[in-house]
Each structure stands twice: as structure tokens, then as C-alpha cells.
Amino acid sequence: MNNKYSAVSEQLGGMKAAKSFSLESLQERQLQNITSGITNQMLRFTRVISATRMFYEIGAAVILIAKFQIIVRMGEYVWENVPSMGVMAVCYVHGA
């Protein structure tokens, strides 16, 4: 990625020389190729980060639901006289 940024700054620095030799179109195409490469890399990076975040959040939700179900079922077996909502409230208060 750093190579692309240095290539962009090199291209921008060479614009003065390109103008003096009437090579603006060539310089412009090269700069466009470099910037499209940077854009594509950023797009791929964003997709990977988004997918990772999505799987992390889904996994966290599944674990939270499973933990909640285990607590409720334990409460039903152990404390038969205490309603499930009471067990959930106690677990919530104690950070289970």
C-alpha cells in the first residue's frame, strides 16, 4: 500500500515535467491506474472488515442466547419454586 502512495506522490511531482514535454495524457493514465488500484485495495479491505465484524456479531449473539438458555434451564431444574423471570433477574443482576 505504501508503494502505491509513493507512486501517487511521484506521479503528482512529475506533472510539471510531463507538461513541459506534452505528456499529460500518459501521466494522467498512469495516475488513474494507480488510484484505481488504491481504490480496489480499500474496497477489498472494507469488505473483509465488514464480513469479519458481521461474523463476530453473529457469534456473540449466538453465544449470548446459548448462555441465556442454559441459565434459564438451570433455573428451572434447580429452583423449581422460583419463576424463570426471577432466575433471569438474579442472573442479570449478578452478571452471569
In the chain, what are the domain boundaries? 2-93
Which residues neighbour 87 within 8 Å (Cβ) at sequence distance 6 or greater?
71, 72, 74, 75, 76, 79
Which residues neighbour 5 within 8 Å (Cβ) at sequence distance 6 or greater?
38
**22: which 3 cell numbers?**
506534452
- How do residues 49-76 score in pLDDT, each as one tens digit? 999 999 999 999 999 898 888 887 776 6
**88: which 3 cell numbers?**
433471569
Single-letter code of the amino acid located at 50: S
- For position 2, what pLDDT does the model report? 66
- For position 70, what pLDDT does the model report? 84
**55: which 3 cell numbers?**
461474523
pTM exceeds 0.75? no
- For position 10, what pLDDT does the model report? 72
Q: Across residues 8-26, what is the average pLDDT?
A: 70
- For position 33, what pLDDT does the model report? 85
